[in-house]
Structures are given as C-alpha cells and as structure tokens.
C-alpha cells in the first residue's frame, strides 16, 4: 500500500492539541472506566519492549505475499502461550486468535497484515533485511517496506494486553493476522481469463475468519503523519485498485529497416502517452479523483532488433464504481485504437489485483471517534482521501469496519519529507508501536462495552 500524505503533514501540527480535540477526548471519559484505562496503560508499558523486539525480528525476516510461514508460526506460538484459541492456515498462512472474555457480549475483530515486498532495503538499520527470494522467476531482495512488521507486532501486543484483562472483558476479540495484503501471491498473477484463487483478506473472509464478528478495526503505519497522530476519514478513505496489463503485438524486424515490420515499441510509447489523457481529459475528476499509472514496460533485448511485442503493467485507482467501470472501458479503447493506428494490435486485461474502496461507514466512524480521540490523547485529525489501496476493504464488505492511519515519522525526519511506504528507505519510529497497541485496545474495549 502506498500513501500520498506529504502535503498534509505541513498543516497538521497547528491543528493538533487544540481545545476542540481536548474537549472531544475528555468527553469520552464516561465511555471507558478510568480504572480500565489505567490498567491498560500499565500493561502496554510492560509489553512495549517485547512489541519492539517482535517488530525487529519480523523486519529482519520478511516474507513475500502468501509465504509468511515463519511470521505466522511466530504469531501462532505467541497466541497459544497466551491461552487463546488459535486457528492456522486460514486463507493460506493466516492466523486467527480468539480471546473469550469472562463476561458475555459481542465479538469484535482486530486485523494486522504480515507480508513484505520485493524491495531491497536501504535503511542501514542494524536489523535490516538481508533476505532474498524468488519472485516472478527472478531472485529479489525482500523488505518490510510498508510497515506490516509493525502492524503484526502491534496486534501481538494487543493480544497480550487484552488477555491480561480477560476477567473484565465483555464478549470476545478475534485477532486476525492476514497474509498477502500486497497482492496476489507469486503464481496467482495471470491475466489469461482463468479464475484467480482468492487470497489475503478475501480468502480469510471466505474461510470464516469473521464468523460471529459485529465489527472490525485496523490501522496502517505511515512516516508521512507526525509521530502518534491518528488520521481518519468517514466514508471513502483509500482508493479501489485494479492492476492492468497491456500487450502490444507488432511484427519483429531488423532495426535498420523498421518499415518492413510493425514496431510495437513505438506504438507502446504512444499508448502510454495517450492513456494519460483519460484522467486529465476524459474522466470528471471534479466528482472523485482517479490515478492511472504505467509502472513497467518490457519489450526487446537488443539494440538493432525490433521485437514482436511489448508488455506493459499498470494500476488504476478510483473512488467510485461508476468511474472505475468507465475508466477501464476507456483504457481498452485508447490502447486498442492507438495501436491499430500504427498497424499493431493491443490486448488489455485487468486483474488479478482488484481491491474495492476502503470505506469507513459514517455511523461506525461517528460512534468510535470519541474513543479514538481518547486513545490517541486528542492527536486525531481528519485527512484527505488516499490514493493508495488496502484489501481491508474485503473485511468491510462482510461487516462494518473502521480503518485509520497512524503517524510514525522516524527520528530525525520530518513527516513532509520522510520516505514513503514502499520506499527502500522506509522506516518507522518505534514509539508509534505503543500508540498502535493503545488505540486498537481502546477501540475494542469501547465497542464491546457499548450496548
């Protein structure tokens, strides 16, 4: 998942800590007993060093989507030591832990994702990843470049904290540790029209991870919000995502005589340029924003040989289903028409990655916001829509779900210029981990404590 929050960071600090924030947070005192909060904070303080240790261990041993075997084992062993009911192999390598409170009540779920990315780390951390793995037929470096190591460690900490409060817990908490948030596991990524097996959140939902759950909460760390600041939004928060593949078929020939063939490289270059006109000139972006990016282009292997074909990979981000459908149709029409003008042919396919909009229900957002402000000690701000995507949206299709961002600007960095998620230099301030434990714990306690 990738964020575009840097411009927001400049304006945040002036808005935080205001009287309005303080009053809103203070107004929730009745919702969560002071004794409960005191007990919670003592347990968080005790668990914080272990949370950091878990994060560093997971960071040093990253695993690609669908291969989170070591991470899942670490999580499952921890949950079993706590005495939770544990299910493994859910949706692939997913783990579900169930904490049943001593008192009757509802069921709430908390989610963390576990997978890493094919990125070579450039942080210089003493626990930096040295892991390499095969990805799409090539050896690649692997790195936790999106904060999932922190998410997993945070939720392990929440499980420990809430288990220690089991005697006063009404209802049950499901801890969902999800694989493959970053996309289809290697080998699932095909565009030949065949059905793609479910993965990630969708696979976990299909296999019953949300059975009996009334609501689910999740967070995402980002270096582009100040440390400890919670960013939220009611309604659409993060964009829906569609991966796309365009294959331009020409006719190979010698580079000295391009007229004797059909040059798919030239046609592809024109397609790339033409596609940019879809968002800038054809979609009504006054209604909702959209982003169309070509991120990879491959064709040819020698300077004097025009190849037969070129392949492009890209991503479409939208916040509206109607605009999403229109954009996909226009992408196909544009690519095919431009290629045909050069004597080539273009085929366009979408998937397997196809995430819906991460959409926070207004009613749930309004209900949890006081507790969120209390948990974050008033450091909560409404943020603009984010063009990155999250398959937390699959959980939100099944039950009401609330997702938020947590600022973790590294020490010595500024939120406005810190390396973004998916950067080789991405890192977090580990002080944010305890804030993550507190916010998720309070949200769970608040939800279970309400009628």
Residues 161 and 46: their CA atoms lie apart, in Å, by 9
Residues 401 and 119: their CA atoms lie apart, in Å, by 30
Q: Would strands 103-113 and 215-222 be described as parallel, antiparallel, or unpaired? A: parallel
Going across the sheet that includes 240-249, the strands are 290-298, 309-318, 240-249, 345-355
Question: Annotated catalytic residue: which of 355, 390, 394, 404?
Answer: 355
Of the candidates 173, 242, 182, the one whose C-alpha atom is nearest the C-alpha of residue 210 is 173
Task: Please say whether the beta carbons of 346 and 338 come within 8 A.
Answer: yes
Orientation of helix 431-449 relative to helix 362-375, angle to 10°: 130
Question: Annotated catalytic residue: which of 288, 311, 326, 430?
Answer: 430
Sign of CA dihedral 20, 21, 23, 28: positive
Residues 177 and 172: their CA atoms lie apart, in Å, by 16
Annotation says 355 is catalytic? yes
Task: Please say whether the beta carbons of 305 and 348 come within 8 A.
Answer: no
Residues 362 and 235: their CA atoms lie apart, in Å, by 6
Annotation says 430 is catalytic? yes
Show which residues are catalytic: 355, 430
């Amino acid at each position: 998942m990738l964020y575009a929050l840097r411009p927001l960071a400049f304006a945040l600090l002036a808005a935080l800590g205001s009287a309005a924030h303080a009053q809103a947070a203070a107004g929730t005192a009745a919702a969560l007993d002071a004794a409960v909060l005191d007990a919670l904070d003592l347990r968080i303080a005790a668990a914080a060093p272990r949370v950091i240790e878990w994060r560093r261990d997971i960071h040093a041993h990253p695993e690609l989507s669908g291969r989170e075997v070591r991470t899942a084992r670490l999580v499952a062993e921890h949950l079993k030591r706590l005495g939770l009911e544990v299910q493994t192999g859910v949706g692939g390598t997913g783990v579900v832990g169930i904490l049943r409170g001593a008192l009757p009540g509802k069921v709430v779920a908390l989610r963390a994702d576990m997978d890493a990315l094919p990125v070579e780390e450039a942080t210089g951390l003493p626990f930096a990843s040295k892991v390499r793995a095969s990805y799409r037929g090539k050896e690649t470096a692997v790195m936790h470049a999106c904060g999932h190591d922190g998410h997993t460690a945070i939720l392990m900490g929440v499980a420990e904290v809430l288990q220690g409060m089991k005697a006063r817990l009404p209802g049950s908490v499901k801890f969902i540790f999800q694989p493959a948030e970053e996309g289809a596991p290697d080998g699932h990524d095909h565009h030949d029209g065949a059905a793609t097996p479910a993965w990630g959140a969708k696979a976990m939902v299909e296999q019953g991870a949300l059975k009996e759950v009334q609501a689910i909460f999740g967070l995402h760390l980002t270096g582009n919000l100040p440390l400890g600041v919670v960013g939220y939004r009611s309604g659409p928060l993060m964009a829906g995502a569609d991966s796309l593949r365009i294959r331009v078929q020409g006719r190979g020939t010698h580079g000295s005589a391009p007229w004797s063939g059909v040059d798919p490289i030239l046609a592809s270059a024109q397609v790339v340029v033409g596609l940019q006109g879809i968002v800038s000139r054809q979609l009504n972006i006054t209604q909702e924003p959209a982003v169309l990016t070509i991120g990879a282009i491959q064709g040819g292997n020698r300077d004097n040989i025009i190849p037969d074909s070129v392949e492009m990979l890209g991503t479409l981000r939208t916040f509206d289903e109607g605009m999403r459908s229109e954009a996909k149709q226009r992408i196909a029409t544009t690519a095919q028409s431009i290629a045909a003008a050069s004597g080539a042919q273009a085929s366009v396919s979408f998937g397997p990655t196809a995430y819906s909009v991460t959409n926070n229900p207004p009613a749930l957002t309004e209900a949890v916001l006081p507790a969120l402000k209390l948990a974050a000690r008033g450091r909560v701000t409404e943020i603009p829509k984010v063009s990155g995507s999250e398959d937390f949206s699959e959980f939100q299709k099944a039950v009401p779900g609330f997702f938020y961002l947590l600022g973790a600007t590294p020490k010595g960095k500024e939120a406005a210029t810190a390396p973004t998620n998916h950067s080789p230099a991405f890192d977090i301030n580990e002080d944010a981990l305890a804030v993550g434990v507190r916010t998720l714990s309070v949200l769970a306690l608040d939800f279970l404590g309400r009628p």
